[in-house]
Amino acid sequence: MRRISLVAGAVVAGLLLAACGGGGGGGTETKKVEVFTWWTEGGEKAGLDGLVSTFKKQYPKYKFVNAAVAGGAGSNAKNVLASRLQSGQPPSSFQAHAGGELADYIKAGQLQDLSSLYKSQGWDQKFPEGVVKALTYQGKIYSVPANIHRANVVWANPSVLKKANITKPADSISAWIKDLAKLKKAGVKTPLSVATDWTQVQLLETVLIADLGPDGYSGLWDGKTDWNGSDVTKALNDYKTLLSYTNTDRSGLDWPDAVKYVTDGKAAYNVMGDWTAGALKEQGLSQDKDWIWMPVPGTDGIFDFLADSFTLPVGAPNEAGAKAWLKTVGSAEGQKAFNTKKGSIPVRTDATASDYDAYQQQAIKDFGSDTVVPSLAHGAAVSIGWLTDITSAVGEFGNSKDVAKLQKALASAADSHK
Ligand code: GAL
């Protein structure tokens, strides 16, 4: 009840602000388009810059205002955004993940319906049905997808693998654990690198996919798979074993630091989404020579999906400018400028695959043929509240290493958010 009235209050405050011209008033103010993301460095920033330069070209009368808040996966940005929305001070547009995360904002009455913009831009014909479905609530479409990312990817250093004579990718978590043991024996101190809590959640989600299979994993989110089951216990034990091969300084690191472990030759593997491809490109590193990739062992043929999208908040300052931004995001030119740098693949089905790097060309193919499952760590599978509970249980597990306790916490998180 309290939450509902707070949200309603924020919406009213936002409308009042807009009506009084707060941020959206006359003169130069109306030209500003404030866009909120968490893309501040490396390939992420390069991608955003690409989108911004397309926006400037397509809509020169508007001024892009960058409201990015640093921190991988929106770990800081989402809190800042929540308080801005609650106090009725939304940006012109903000980044949100397709799926459960977006649904939260919609259900809270914080977003405007974009169905007519879709019609006018012909996007219903250009974007894959499954993606549009993850942006739709009660028949209305609420955001514009910028990309498609894959979360179940291992990035590896070929020279480090050589030290343990590892020549082919493992095809299951248990085979992978054997390779990690070989690396340790060959003197590699950190066979697998990981960073702060949300990256551990991402690692765990890929182990759940590998061990439960796509249906078992998807069932965790719609209640069909029992969180207390023995197959989940096995996956959590596998996760515990993987964690024992990781760096102990993980809690102080963000994802680029964990990738750096691999590129510096200090670790063999890191599990991270394919924004890593954008980061590696930005550093001038080349596929095959400096890095290789494989699906997380046991998840070949499965595409752990997430998509970044942009919204039109209720009470958005400069609504016309915000819509212009959204048009750039959905345009062929905008998607190319963004995704060629970001490591993701374009959402538009009329994109030209040869504009993209080898890794991305493969991802385009895989997205078309793999079984698609929703990413947990990146807002596709569950609501923000459910993910927050899972993240604190997983973070806690990093200290306790108590599998029974973790399983109980995950099961009770599922119960309270279903
Ligand atoms: C994800 C986001 C990606 C990338 C990543 C690391 O949540 O969807 O675009 O930014 O976080 O920050």
From ligand 1's centre to the CA of 77, what distance in Å? 11
The atom number, within ligand 1, closest to the CA of 37 reads 10
Binned at pLDDT 50, 70 and 90, residue 4 comes out as: very low
Question: What 3-state class would DSSP assign to 307?
Answer: coil
CA-to-CA distance for 74 and 146, rounded, in angstroms? 16
CA of 393 to the centre of ligand 1 (A): 21
- pLDDT of 7 above 70: no
Percent of all residues in the chain with a pLDDT value above 90, rounded to a whole number: 92
> Is 9 a residue whose pLDDT tops 60?
no
Average confidence (pLDDT) over 363-369: 98
Q: From the alpha carbon of 147, which atom of ligand 1 is closest?
A: 9
What's the pLDDT at 17? 42
275 Cα–ligand 1 center, Å: 7
- The stretch 103-127 carries a mean pLDDT of 97
Q: Return the best residue to mutate from 35, 45, 149, 205 for the ligand 1 pocket (most ligand atoms within 8 A of CB).
A: 149
Model confidence band, residue 397 (pLDDT cutoffs 50, 70, 90): very high
Beta bridge partners, 149, equal: 306
Residue 18's pLDDT band, with cuts at 50, 70 and 90, is: very low
User: Two tokens at 391?
Assistant: 């993240």
Ligand 1 closest atom vs CA 275: 4
Selected residue with higher pLDDT from 4 and 51: 51
Residue nearest to atom 9 of ligand 1 (CA): 308
Which residue, judged by its Cα, is nearest atom 5 of ligand 1? 73
Which residue lies with its CA nearest to atom 1 of ligand 1?
73
Measure 48 CA to ligand 1 centroid, in angstroms: 12
Task: Tell me the CA–centroid distance for residue 73 and ligand 1, in Å.
Answer: 4
How far, in Å, CA of 296 to CA of 233, rounded?
19
Name which residue sits closest to atom 2 of ligand 1, judged by CA: 73
- Its pTM stands at 0.93
Residues in Cβ contact with 25 at an 8 Å cutoff, skipping those fewer than 6 apart: none
pLDDT at 25 over 80: no
Question: Per-residue pLDDT for 396 more than 90?
Answer: yes
DSSP code string of 208-274: HHHHHHHHHHHHHHHT-S-TTSHHHHHHHHHHHHHHTTB-TTGGG--HHHHHHHHHTTSEEEEE--T
Radius of gyration (Cα) for the chain, nearest Å?
21
Using CB atoms within 10 A of its CB, is residue 61 exposed (0-12), middle (13-18) or buried (19+)?
A: exposed
Q: Are 378 and 78 in contact (CB under 8 A)?
A: no
pLDDT value at position 1? 31
* Closest approach atom of ligand 1 to CA 72: 12
Q: Among the atoms of ligand 1, which is closest to the Cα of residue 342? A: 9
- Which atom of ligand 1 is the closest one to the Cα of 379? 7
Task: Give residue 28's pLDDT.
Answer: 54
**Ligand 1 atom 12: residue of nearest CA:** 72
Q: What is the pLDDT of residue 220?
A: 98
Please give the share of the chain, as a percent, with pLDDT higher than 70.
Answer: 93
Asked if residue 105 has pLDDT above 50, the reply is yes
301-322 average pLDDT score = 98
- Span from the CA of 150 to the centroid of ligand 1 (angstroms): 10
Which of 329, 378, 382 to probe ligand 1 with, by most ligand atoms within 8 A of CB?
378
Per-residue pLDDT, averaged over 302-321, amounts to 98
- Helices within 108-195 (DSSP H only): 115-121, 123-126, 129-133, 158-163, 173-185
Give the confidence band of 30 by pLDDT, cuts at 50, 70, 90. confident
d(CA 418, CA 415): 6
Residue 6 in this model has a pLDDT that exceeds 70:
no
In this predicted model, what pLDDT tens digit does every residue of 179-190 receive, in sequence order? Answer: 999 999 999 999
Nearest-CA residue for ligand 1 atom 8 is 308
190, β-bridge pairs: 267
Residue 86 CA, ligand 1 centroid: distance in Å: 23
pLDDT at 29: 54
**Cα 348 to ligand 1 centre (Å):** 19
Cα(259) to centroid(ligand 1), Å: 14
- When the pLDDT of each residue in the chain is averaged and rounded to a whole number, the result is 94
Candidate of 36, 40, 44, 48 to mutate for ligand 1, largest count of ligand atoms within 8 Å of Cβ? 44
Q: Which token pair is 322?
A: 């915000």
3 state DSSP class of 173: helix
Residues touching ligand 1 (Cβ under 6 Å) are 38-39, 44, 72-74, 97, 149, 255, 273, 275, 306, 308, 378
401 pLDDT exceeds 90? yes
Nearest CA to ligand 1 atom 7: 73
Gap between the Cα atoms of 182 and 63, Å rounded: 54
pLDDT tens for residues 187-225? Answer: 999 999 999 999 999 999 999 999 999 999 999 999 999
* pLDDT band (50, 70, 90) for residue 172: very high
User: Residue 404 burial (CB < 10 Å; 0-12/13-18/19+)?
Assistant: exposed
